Amino acid sequence: MNGLRSIAALALGLTLPVCLSAHQQQKPAPPPQKIPSMTTEDVMRKGSAETVETTDDSGGKKPAVEAKVSSEGGKKAEVSADENAWRENVKAARERAESTQRVAEEAELRVTDLRNQLGAPGQDPKDRNAVLAQMEETSNSIKQLRAEAREAKAALDKLLEEGREKNYSEASESPENAQGKPNDQYYRDRFAKLNQQIQDSQRRVQLYNDQIRDINERITQNSRTGDNYYIGKLQEDLEDARHNLQDAQDAGEKARQDLDTLLEEARQAGVPPGVFR
């Protein structure tokens, strides 16, 4: 009897694991968990500002630069502090280059005007001596003024080249403000700049006409000397003056056309006429 009980117990022990294993195999696997994802709306809710962190050539991290991303093409509306500083330097260098060039040209015109005064009738020796003294003083300053203009232009060109290497761009105003209305300051600044360009072109046209007349007189005076080298140099100067005259005339014409276009754009945009006074 005891033997039969032992055999039954042994059979039960062997059958139970098999049943449990079958039960586990029939149990359905749990459904896969959904992986959370971020939509475009989720990203936009994080704000329009993003922080861009870059590394330099040595692998070190540069200071992070905050750039605002607009909804139109993701364009960054802000620039780095270095580029802003470069823009200020370019603005100052451009103003200096233009002003030094203007002063040098005005001095040359002054010499021509004084020379014409010497030939005016009704002058006594005292008047002529005063004019000659002014001519000498102004003529002596022209060389220094031209050197200052060249240095200022070279400094500006150097800054612009540095900006090109770093993909910098000069600041520019928009014809519209943040509210989509006409930006009066844009039209005012553009109007002043174009008028200055017209004045510059007029001054240069007069300057190069004076140079052409003076060179022609010297060629005539030296035509019988037989100094072909000197006359050849005068001919080269004459060609340069004529080329510069054409450039000045073209620049003036373009500035006048741009001014007409600006005024028409302003009229269509509803800019008050008082902006241009």
Nearest in space to 208 (alpha carbons), one of 238, 245, 236:
245
Q: For the purposes of burial, counting CB atoms within 10 Å of the CB of 194, is it exposed (0-12), middle (13-18) or buried (19 or more)?
A: buried
| pLDDT at residue 49 greater than cutoff 60 | no
| pLDDT at residue 81 greater than cutoff 80 | yes
Q: Is the dihedral of CA 253, 258, 263, 267 positive or negative?
A: positive
Q: Pick the residue with more confidence: 60 or 119? A: 119
Nearest in space to 91 (alpha carbons), one of 179, 224, 193:
193
153-208 confidence digits (pLDDT tens): 999 999 999 999 999 999 888 999 889 999 999 999 999 999 999 999 999 999 99
- Whole-number pLDDT of residue 77: 55
Mean pLDDT, residues 231-236: 93
| pLDDT at residue 75 greater than cutoff 90 | no
Q: pTM for the whole thing?
A: 0.68
User: What is the distance, to the nearest Å, from the Cα of residue 209 to the centroid of all Cα atoms in its chain?
Assistant: 32
CATH code of domain 182-277: 1.20.58
Q: How many CB atoms lie within 10 A of CB 83?
A: 18
Instruction: Report which residue type is found at 267.
Output: R
On whether the CB atoms of residues 202 and 252 are closer than 8 A, the answer is yes
User: What is the distance, to the nearest Å, from the Cα of residue 269 to the centroid of all Cα atoms in its chain?
Assistant: 25
How far is the CA of 14 from the CAs of 3, 7, 21, 182, 264, in angstroms?
17, 11, 12, 92, 101
How far is the CA of 274 from the CAs of 143, 189, 201, 256, in angstroms?
42, 13, 26, 20
How far apart are the C-alpha atoms of 81 and 168, rounded to whole Å?
Answer: 12
Instruction: Using alpha carbons only, give the angle 217, 223, 225 rounded to the nearest 5 degrees.
Output: 125
| Residue spans per domain, the chain | 74-170, 182-277
Q: Pick the residue with more confidence: 123 or 248? A: 248
| pLDDT at residue 96 greater than cutoff 70 | yes
* Tokens linked to 17: 């694991």
Residues 6+ apart with CB under 8 A from 54: 61, 62, 65
Instruction: Using alpha carbons only, give the angle 173, 177, 181 rounded to the nearest 5 degrees.
Output: 130
Helix (H, G, I), strand (E, B) or coil at 66: strand
Beta strand spans in the chain (E): 49-52, 65-68
